[in-house]
Amino acid sequence: MAESPHPPKREVFDVPAMTNTDNKGFVRPVLDYRITGFGLYMSRTADHPRFEHLETWLLPTLGLRANIFHFRDGYRDGQRLYLDVGQFSGPDADGRWHAADWYLDLVDVPGTPLQLLDVDELFEAHAAGLLELADCDHAVAIAARTLVGAAENAHDVQLWLDESVGDRLTWLDRP
């Protein structure tokens, strides 16, 4: 029997407190936050068996969260970016940013087309009443725009993201 669909994953990025609260309520210390005119960058360590560090850009106008998971040896060789589709906003009156993951994900392996994941989860969530039809439509439009944008840039989603926000997204391993 398949698992029941889960509600959209929600996270809080508390810039003043230098913490990140995940969808299960775990509060983790953040090493670096940077606020720009187009989004929020976060860098933190991870206590995960597959990766040891996480970098994230919340990009509200694009409806994307771009992530680099610094994997431990033997996990997901070749993966560069992992993009979550959803609703991202901030800062609120307390300086916090918020993320709601709308199930769809895009995986970037440089030199290949983006891979779209979890379409089934989106449909199951809508059928279970966990996501409104308008949000599902918006999620599909965000994913389609991202797939097309990367394809029009020789499958370089990083280049498309940079052009879309009008600046260069910087990462620990990319000056």
CB 160 within 8 A of CB 142: no
pLDDT at 1: 42
pTM > 0.75: yes or no: yes
pLDDT at 51: 75
Per-residue pLDDT in tens (0 to 9) along the chain, 175 residues: 457 889 999 999 999 999 999 999 999 999 999 999 999 999 998 877 777 888 999 999 999 999 988 867 766 667 889 999 999 999 999 999 999 999 999 999 988 999 999 999 999 999 999 999 999 999 999 999 999 999 999 999 999 999 999 999 999 864 3
Other Cβ atoms within 10 Å of 144 Cβ, number: 12
Beta 96-108 vs 9-14: how paired, if at all?
Answer: antiparallel
pLDDT of residue 41: 97
Contact 168, 38 (CB under 8 A): no
One CATH from 2.30.30.30, 3.40.50.2300, 2.40.380.10, 1.10.645.10 for 9-165? 2.40.380.10
SS3 68: strand
